[in-house]
Amino acid sequence: MTADLQRYFDDHRANFLDGLRQLLRIPSISTLPEHQPDIRRAAELVAAELRQAGLHQVRLIEGDGNPLVYGEWLQAPGKPTLLCYGHYDVQPPDPLEEWLSPPFEPAIRGDDIFARGASDDKGQTYILIKAVQALLAVRGSLPVNVKFLIEGEEETGGRHIEAYARRNGRQIGAQAVVICDTEMFAPGLPTLCVGLRGLVYAEVEVTGARADLHSGVYGGVAPNPLQALAEILTGLKNAAGRILIPGFYDRVREPSPAERSAWARLPFDEERYREREIGSPELVGEAGRSIFERTWTRPTLEIHGIRGGWTGEGAKTVIPARATAKISMRLVPDLAPQEVFERFRGQVERLTPRGTRSQVRLLSAAEPAVVDPDNSYLRAAAAAMTEVFGAETVYIRSGGSIPIVGLFAEHAGIPSVMMGFGLPDDNLHAPNEKLHLPNFFGGLRAVARYLEMLG
């Protein structure tokens, strides 16, 4: 990295942190309708940041869903065009009482900045914007063409960007997407993510009697939707972690021997992982599968919430008239979300006990994705990361879902380069989400070097 660029980054540390804090203060929670005004404020702030970075044609793209924020710099003729993706929406912060500092009042403790969205994905989106700003400020131009497309619905399935990708297809006019929304395998270990699980997220509602009933008077004859849900849930996955939906595993693709042996060389201590990251008495899941397989290459089914009956203090002897459960499945290649959802719905119907009725609604879906690391965009990213962090870049997968990776591969025919600057203990989707500041500042340099190398 040239000294002038390095000096720019050094001079702007406080300024970049202030800007990031401003973005983190907006509770742009896409799952909660009451936060729609915050969604818009966040989109407008991202647009202002893109303008400040020196991008052209900056605007909000309106459509069915939350606005996309667009910006471009296309003055490098003959050079490739890179699409820079991030998202400005965040997960809800519940349970609030477990946060050490309020989720939307960013707090720096030690080397970390704590706030909802710090790592997922405002902090990482900010890395992309500020790396481009630095190059334009110091050099007056970029080594490649860039287009920014920052969405506001990543946490709810990305309806708008999906429609956008379908509509524009190859006319998006980029040769690769760069995404900063994943993590480094370990602190100081540069990492590219080359696989993501997909998602089917559904809600199951079970109804029994017409109204809530007294469990003394009617207990013994009235159907109980909570009991019905328990029966349905244990009929979807057994205690050994195996999903019981017929045919569910038919199209699961196993990882290659090369991938498996690369993963076996990763620095990983299972006991430390259990203790530090999970904090439960034991790890669970499919016997005979490694942690990497269980979290990266095996499908899962998880219950996210159950609502029904009396959950306040003390005792209320009610048989509730209805109960709902939120359930998702993570998908691996070659499971298709629509087919999985139909199988899921069929199994819930088969499991619904007599006396009750069930309804299944699809809330969001994403395709699983794997990227072939043998392409010039990934090789350049690996080289830039290795140079900046001073260690060999490793290739991993992630158990999470980034819907646009599959979308851009399918509709625009372009690969995704997932340069991640999060860390495994960043508490994504959980209380006390954080971003490690050395990764933030390293990420700025790595993205800037990546653009230079591509140029």
For the segment 77-96, give every residue that binds a second copy (CB under 8 A): 91-92, 94-95
Per CB under 8 A, the list member of 424, 438, 453, 455 interacting with a second copy is 424
Judged by CB, which is closer to a second copy: 360, or 454?
Answer: 360
d(CA 390, CA 136): 25
What is the nearest approach in angstroms of a second copy to the Cβ of residue 229? 7
The interface with a second copy within residues 18-37 (CB under 8 A) comprises: 30-33
Query: Residues binding a second copy: what is the number (CB under 8 A)?
Result: 100
Judged by CB, which is closer to a second copy: 169, or 219?
Answer: 219
The interface with a second copy within residues 302-331 (CB under 8 A) comprises: 302-320, 323-326, 328, 330
d(CA 428, CA 293): 20
Bridge partners of residue 214, in order along the sequence:
318
The helix (H) or strand (E) run that includes residue 86 is strand 81-87
Per CB under 8 A, the list member of 1, 266, 430, 453 interacting with a second copy is 430
Work out the angle between the directed axes of helices 437-454 and 122-139 (0-180°, nearest 10): 50
Instruction: Fill in the per-residue mask, 389 to 408: x = in contact with a second copy (CB under 8 A), - = not in contact.
Output: ---------xxxx-------
What is the nearest approach in angstroms of a second copy to the Cβ of residue 356? 7
Structural contact between residues 88 and 23, judged by C-beta atoms closer than 8 angstroms = yes
Preceding amide of 425 cis, omega within 30: no
Q: Who contacts 288 (Cβ-Cβ below 8 Å, separation ≥6)?
A: none
What is the nearest approach in angstroms of a second copy to the Cβ of residue 62? 21
What is the nearest approach in angstroms of a second copy to the Cβ of residue 237? 7
Bridge partners of residue 63, in order along the sequence:
65
Per CB under 8 A, the list member of 112, 154, 155, 162 interacting with a second copy is 155
What is the nearest approach in angstroms of a second copy to the Cβ of residue 64? 16
Structural contact between residues 446 and 419, judged by C-beta atoms closer than 8 angstroms = yes
Judged by CB, which is closer to a second copy: 261, or 311?
Answer: 311
Identify the CA nearest to 247 among candidates 360, 343, 349: 343
Interaction between residue 429 and a second copy (CB under 8 A): yes
DSSP string of 252-281, one letter each residue: PPPPPHHHHHHHHTS---HHHHIIIII-SS
Decide: helix, strand or coil at residue 112: strand
Judged by CB, which is closer to a second copy: 151, or 452?
Answer: 151
What is the nearest approach in angstroms of a second copy to the Cβ of residue 206? 11
In this structure, how many other beta carbons lie within 10 angstroms of the beta carbon of residue 350?
11
Per CB under 8 A, the list member of 175, 300, 393, 416 interacting with a second copy is 300
Judged by CB, which is closer to a second copy: 49, or 183?
Answer: 183
Instruction: Fill in the per-residue mask, 210 to 249: x = in contact with a second copy (CB under 8 A), - = not in contact.
Output: xxxxxxxxxxxxxxx-xx-xxx-xx--x-x-x--------
The interface with a second copy within residues 244-273 (CB under 8 A) comprises: none
In this structure, how many other beta carbons lie within 10 angstroms of the beta carbon of residue 153?
23
Interaction between residue 44 and a second copy (CB under 8 A): no
Please identify, among the stretches 141-149, 250-258, 336-344, 357-365, the one whose residues bind a second copy according to the rule CB under 8 A: 357-365
329 φψ region: left (φ > 0), alpha (ψ -120 to 50), beta (else)? beta
Judged by CB, which is closer to a second copy: 47, or 180?
Answer: 180
Side chain identity at residue 185, one-letter code: F
Preceding amide of 438 cis, omega within 30: no
Identify the CA nearest to 366 among candidates 146, 198, 141: 198
What is the nearest approach in angstroms of a second copy to the Cβ of residue 174? 26
Side chain identity at residue 240, one-letter code: A
What is the nearest approach in angstroms of a second copy to the Cβ of residue 50? 27
What is the nearest approach in angstroms of a second copy to the Cβ of residue 135? 32
Please identify, among the stretches 6-14, 18-26, 100-108, 354-362, the one whose residues bind a second copy according to the rule CB under 8 A: 354-362
Judged by CB, which is closer to a second copy: 6, or 227?
Answer: 227
d(CA 327, CA 318): 24
The helix (H) or strand (E) run that includes residue 325 is strand 322-331
Interaction between residue 431 and a second copy (CB under 8 A): yes
Per CB under 8 A, the list member of 70, 104, 201, 440 interacting with a second copy is 201
